[in-house]
Amino acid sequence: MLILPILLFTLPIDPSVTTVVVDTVPPAIQDAATPAEPKEPKWTGSVSLGASIADGDSDTRSASSTADAEYRRENDRFKLGFAWNYQQDKNATPSITQRRSLFKAQYDYFFSKRTYGLVQASAEADKAADLALRTTIGVGAGHQFLEDEAWIGEGTWKVSAEVGVTHIDEDFDVAKDNDYMSARAAYSAAWTPNAKWGLSQTCEIFPSLEDSDDLLIKLDTRGKMALTEKMFGQLQWLWTYDNTPATGLSRTNDIYALTIGWSF
């Protein structure tokens, strides 16, 4: 019984033979055992600019700008937005026919993968609507139905909806100032069918909780076409409906803007 161990022990060792250690763990198992490094949160978004000049029979100047940014982490999200539109007709009185600016901010905290609570605020001025300043601040809840996911046809979708309450304060240049509590309902949808095209729309509806005649609706629709990896062309339609506008002014206002933008 001891012959085999003795023979193995007494066998000569060839120094020219190199000992090779073989890793017996398959690569697939190694990759699965190595945890992926979490992605570092960062700001993403876009900035777009556009302008036009007409001389001769007409003497007009117009300019438009939009900017959007989002900072997404596992449990929360920050969103910022800015829009500015300007139009001047030197043959008209007054010469500045449109000057609108909007800034908005929102913070979302996710209670689950899809559902979140929110705090939002905005500030807006619109010369054509006699609006010196409209501020809103509110709270609510939202649900992210889709986030860069497939839904209908090809491409990816982002779809969310929100409800809440908002305080609205309106200061007018001529008309009587106004402030009231309002409900807020909103949705956001973005479709990217491929790397070339994109279509998005956001809508906010503010029905007053104090006066049933007070109703404010804001709609922002955009179509994008990629020009390079970072540069894009954008056609934007801004539609606003105010059921109780300043005296003599229209309930609806439309702004169309064609701009060139850069994403980050």
What CATH number does residue 100 fall under?
Answer: 2.40.160
Q: Is residue 96 part of a domain?
A: yes
Supply the pLDDT for residue 34.
54
Q: Is residue 67 part of a domain?
A: yes
Q: Which domain holds residue 141?
A: 47-263
Give 89's pLDDT tier (boundaries 50, 70, 90).
Answer: confident
Q: Is residue 38 part of a domain?
A: no
Q: Is residue 147 part of a domain?
A: yes
Report for 55-64, 144-153, 204-213: range of highest mean pLDDT: 204-213
Whether 77 and 70 have beta carbons less than 8 Å apart is answered as yes
Q: Is residue 1 part of a domain?
A: no
Residue with tokens 């060839």: 14
Beta-bridge partners for 104: 81, 122
Whether 150 and 140 have beta carbons less than 8 Å apart is answered as no
Q: Is residue 209 part of a domain?
A: yes
Question: What are the pLDDT digits (tens) for 166-184?
Answer: 999 999 999 999 999 999 9
DSSP state of 247: T
Question: CA 249: distance to chain centroid?
Answer: 31
Q: Is residue 12 part of a domain?
A: no
Element (H, E) at 231: strand 231-242
CA distance 206 to 264: 32
Supply the pLDDT for residue 96.
87
How many domains does the chain contain in total?
1
Q: Is residue 130 part of a domain?
A: yes
Question: What are the pLDDT digits (tens) for 12-25?
Answer: 444 444 444 444 44
The rounded percent of the chain whose pLDDT value lies above 70 is 85
Supply the pLDDT for residue 21.
40
